[in-house]
Amino acid sequence: MFEIGQVGCGVYLCMLSIIDIRIRKLPVWILAAGGIAAGVLCVYQGAIPLVLAVAGAAVGIVFSVVSKMTDEGFGYGDSILILVLGIYLGFWNLLGVLASAFLLSAIFAMFALGLHKFDRSIGYPFVPFLCISYTLWLCLGGF
């Protein structure tokens, strides 16, 4: 069965997905609260070795640099959320979640472009894809 931290992370991602879809901006205080909770759970549960949690956070830092270089083509909020997930999930689990989130996002973009609902210059929220990806990984036993 699922642990309380896994369910809590899923609820957190669902909440952030709704916010990202509605206002397209993630509140810093919610991201900070998630980061604190991820750090506490990392230390309390001890399921993820510290080196993997730090490496997961480093992935989020890399995405923050990408956000800066692309003038928020990939948003800062998304990057900070990836940092938070990296602390909680660890490096390898984060890479799995990110890979499937980017795959889902690419499939969505192809369909949207094919249906002429978007053009190449329009962005869309990324957090829902992280949420779906996390849920799939959780249900398929990826953690």
143 pLDDT tier (thresholds 50, 70, 90) = low
Q: Which residues contact 101 (CB under 8 A, 6 or more apart)?
A: 126, 129, 130, 132, 133
**Structure tokens given for 85:** 């997930």
Q: Which residues contact 103 (CB under 8 A, 6 or more apart)?
A: none
pLDDT at 65 over 90: yes
The total of structural domains in the chain comes to 1
The pTM for the full model equals 0.91
Is 124 buried (19+), middle (13-18) or exposed (0-12) by CB count in 10 A? middle
Question: Whole-number mean pLDDT of the chain?
Answer: 89
> pLDDT tens digits, residue range 15-58?
999 999 999 999 999 999 999 999 888 878 777 888 999 999 99
Percentage of the residues of the chain whose pLDDT score is greater than 70: 94
**Structure tokens given for 61:** 């830092």
3-state secondary structure of 17: helix
Domain around 93: 4-139
